[in-house]
Every structure is written in structure tokens, then in C-alpha cells.
Amino acid sequence: MGKIIFLDVDGTLINYKLQTPASAKEAIDKARANGHRVYICTGCSKAEILQRDLPALDGMIGANGGYVEDHGEVILHQSLTPSQVHHVTDWCRSRHMAYVLEANSARYYDDLYLEQGPEANARYREGKGAKNVDRAAQKQRILEQYTYIRHEDAARDDVNKISFVLRSYQDHLDSIDEFPDMIAHTWGGVGETAIYGDLAPKGITKRYAIEQLLAHLGASREDTISFGDAKIDLSMFELCAYNVAMGNGGEEIKAAADYVTDDVDADGLYNAFRYLKLID
């Protein structure tokens, strides 16, 4: 077995126009042909990943570690309980915050999300470098790629995590106090501005998921390489033997990296694969 490579998706494998650079696809194809294994390690759930134009991979870690798959075999799947989902969605509703239930079956949005989601998604993409994102196009994308769910039907048993549109950073701080049985994160734009909050099962991290996958493969952490661009990727960096930050990444992830490559849209993945001699 060659190296085992873990790639964050947004800002690492794909850009913020949701495009995978041709050079990144080429790098992955060549690396796999050279005997290396390549997995995505992302906050996205499987339903979202299936809507992306990605190259062939060996598997995925999704939902920030809540779901692990190797060549179609499910290694780990940790969901929130219906009572936890009910608690979160009622809390969001009481604060007039739109939410999205992220499951492997679909991304389920409530009625407030059509009001708040297009602006939040556009700010997120603009904060990561996209220019003048069309809000109407973002609304149409929600209608086409997400699934509407009535608030009274939201307490599902297959929800990996819940994202919600923040009104202010205080909403995130309050979520930490309100949901001690879950892990709370934020994500956003430049400098990782907090645009969204999210809640997931406690104990679930990208590091934990990689540990489970390595045990399944009978592989050693000494053979691991991770690529990321954001603070959420730090738990990957804590475990993997060698870590690469994207040039478009935040300062925290760059400081923790062994190597900083170019931006995602400047062939950053391909150049790093060559630097590490994963490909010729």
C-alpha cells in the first residue's frame, strides 16, 4: 500500500464556484494509478458529495467524521437522535434562524432557508474569493439540489449534522451552552467568518474518523497525508504524519502545516502532489 491521502473538499479539492480544477482531477488519477489511496474528508454529507463533479476516489469521510466509507463499504455512521434533531430545530425556530438537516439521503431545508440561505451561501462563496455571486441563482440552486421539509417533520433519525444561519456570533456561543451533548462549529468566509453554525454528535471529528478508517485498512498513520484549508481540518493535522495547507487557507491551518501549497485555483493540489512525489 502506498500513501493514504485525505482531502478536504471546499477550498481544497474544489473551488468556491463548486468546480474541481482539471489539474486536481489529474493529480488524483495519477496518484491512484501509482498505488496511493485517496479519500475526501469533508463536512459535507454524502447527498451533497454526490452532486459534485469529483474524480474517482477510494472512499470518503463525511459530516466532519460522522460517516466513513471505503470502496462502498460503510465503516462508520453516527447520526443525531430524533430527539436531538427536534431540540435543535425548535431552538433555531425560536430564534428565527434557518436550518439545513444534512443527511446521506438529502439536504433538507426549512421554509426560512429560502429567505436566509441564498444570502448566506453567497456571502460564504464571496468570502472565499468568488465575485458578485448571484443571489437568485443561489435560491434556484437550493430549490434544485435541496429537499424541502416541514418543520413538524424535521425530527428524522438519519441526520448527520445540522447547519443553521447565524444572526451573530452569539448564536454560536449560545448553541454551545444549549447543546452540551453535541459538538458545535462555525464556518464562513474570509478568516473563517462565522456565517453558519453547525451541530453534530459529540466525539465526532475528522481525526476520529481517520483513526477508524486506518484500523479498518490495517494501515499506519505514518503513511498518511492530509490537505486542508480551514480550522475544521486541524484535527486531521493532529493525526496525519504530513500535512499540507492550501494557499487560500486560513492562517491557523497554515501555521499548523508542514507545507503550504498554492491556491486551489492555482493548481495547488497538483503542485503539492508533485512536491511530495506522489506523482511525476
Q: What pLDDT digit, counting tens, does each position of 86-100 carry? A: 999 999 999 999 999
Domain 4-78+205-275, CATH: 3.40.50.1000
Supply the pTM of this predicted model: 0.90
For range 181-196, the mean pLDDT: 82
Phi, psi of 147 (to 5 degrees): -120, 130
For 115-127, the pLDDT digits (tens) are 999 999 999 888 7
Is the Cβ–Cβ distance between 45 and 60 less than 8 Å? no
Segments in the chain forming alpha helices (H) = 22-33, 46-49, 82-94, 113-127, 135-145, 169-178, 206-217, 234-239, 251-256, 268-275
Question: Where are the domain boundaries for CATH 3.40.50.1000 in the chain?
Answer: 4-78+205-275
Q: What contacts 140, CB < 8 A, 6 or more positions away?
A: none
The band of 231, judged by pLDDT with boundaries at 50, 70 and 90, is: confident
Span 36-53, average pLDDT: 95
Question: Regarding the domain delimited by 82-201, which CATH topology (the fold level of the hierarchy) does it fall under?
Answer: 3.30.1240
Mean pLDDT of 264-270: 97
**Residue owning grid cell 469529483:** 54
pLDDT at 191 exceeding the cut of 80: no
CB 247 within 8 A of CB 260: yes
Nearest residue to 62 (alpha-carbon basis) of 213, 265, 191, 197: 213
Q: Could you give the residue range(s) of every CATH 3.30.1240.10 domain in the chain?
A: 82-201
